[in-house]
Amino acid sequence: MKVLVLGATGSIGKQTLDVINQHPDKLEISGLVSYSSDIEGHEVLHTKDNPDAQKQINEMINNTDIVVNAMSGAIGLESSFTTLKAGKRLALANKESLVVGGDLLMPMDRGNLTPIDSEHGAIFQCLIGEDHAEVKQLWITASGGPFRGRKNLDGITKEDALAHPTWNMGPKITIDSATLMNKGLEVIEAHHLFNMPYEKIKVVVQPQSAIHSMVEFIDGSVKAHLGTTDMRIPIQYALSHPLRWKEPVEPMDFTKLGSIDFEEPDMETFKCLKLAYKAGSIGGTMPCIMNAANEVAVSAFLSNKIEFKNIQEIVEKAMENFESEDVESIEQLKYKDKDVREYLKNICIFK
């Protein structure tokens, strides 16, 4: 099968290439897309300063079997849309596609969407063979990020925030993990992917990240998905589904794992998770508004323009300023995204 990798030089992209290299009898690269970086020995389409990039990506999508969408941010939405429209397998790591455009994407899915996000990959597998009506609730696990246990977010530096305790990921998602916005985005992603109301999607902190998520059924049974904390396992499953191939990394050694702890997430200190539940429950374009504000705020934090604690304040401010509308089109979502970015340029914190 031919695989097109969008975001090929990012963390998920590189790990996807490793999985492809481990299964040359099953997979081959049909194309690579990245913002600006190269990969030795491969031709890469660059999207930076390339006004025709999306058109070229859409052509590449038509000439492949599987698209791994590992772009970062809402910019990944259109490629997800084109992939599902073309009836191709969409192995999705770009969670913003569903957060922003879930209302458009899910009605187009004919069983072609396989999640790469470890939590959703876990839930996806726990649900195989199960009846949707017999699911009581979903439990999305969270590591809690590097600031778990803190009660105030003053004085946090970029270096502190980029040091994630269990997963090794790109800068945007690592900051999202530190603010718990990543978990918020995942709650909205789960709502769309598994057609679950928000009151049936729970977050539980599991600091060792050994359990990747759980599904609780109406009879009290709970299925949990466990494994080594290495994204190559969920990436590979998103490509091999419904089959399983030989493991791409060392399997988990339970005798060395020690204990598994659970605790409640602190949504008062880490407001982003609460804001995401709110945006998801309001629905329509509110998750798009929230996501755009978060992208602006994270990028400003990464360029040392704002403090860590300002991220959640900026997201909240944008959500207060804009009203939600029903989602109608990609163009509408792009416009809304741009609108939020323009608005934030003019608020005092950026002056």
Give residues in contact with Mg ion (CB under 5 A): 117-119
Name which of 32 and 113 has its Cβ closer to Mg ion: 113
Residue with the CB atom nearest Mg ion in the bound state: 117
Query: Of 196 and 344, which has the nearer Cβ to Mg ion?
Result: 196
**Nearest-approach distance from CB 213 to Mg ion, in angstroms:** 9
Cis peptide preceding 171, ω within 30 of 0: no
Instruction: Name the packing angle between helices 181-193 and 95-105 (round to 10°).
Output: 30
Shortest Å distance, C-beta 118 to Mg ion: 5
Min CB(140)–Mg ion separation in Å:
8
List the Cα angle 89/101/13 in 5-degree steps: 45
**CB of residue 144 to Mg ion, shortest distance in Å:** 13
Is 112 within 8 Å of 89 (Cβ atoms)? yes
Nearer to Mg ion, 29 or 185 (CB): 185
* 272 contacts 179 by C-beta, under 8 angstroms: yes
| CA 197 remoteness from chain centre | 19
Residue 220: how many other CB atoms lie within 10 Å: 7
Task: Pick between residue 119 and residue 266 the one whose CB is nearest to Mg ion.
Answer: 119
Nearer to Mg ion, 60 or 275 (CB): 275
Cα 124 to Cα 117, 118, 211, 228, 247, distances in angstroms? 10, 10, 14, 17, 18
Q: Torsions phi, psi of 322, nearest 5?
A: -110, 150
Cβ atoms of 142 and 265 within 8 Å: the answer is yes
Amino acid 27 reads L
Looking at beta carbons only, is 165 or 284 nearer to Mg ion?
165
**Of 83 and 118, which CB lies nearer to Mg ion in the complex structure?**
118
**Residue number, 213 or 240, with CB nearest to Mg ion:** 213
How far is residue 97's CA from residue 69's CA, in Å, rounded to a whole number?
9
Distance CA(101)–CA(331), nearest Å, equals 11
Q: Are 96 and 185 in contact (CB under 8 A)?
A: yes
Q: How far apart are CA 215 and CA 196, in angstroms?
A: 12
Q: How far is the CB of 117 from Mg ion (least distance, A)?
A: 4
Residue 183 or 271: which CB sits closer to Mg ion? 183
β-strands 135-142, 45-46 pairing? unpaired
| C-alpha to C-alpha distance for 1 and 344, rounded to whole angstroms | 43
Place of tokens 């429950």: 281
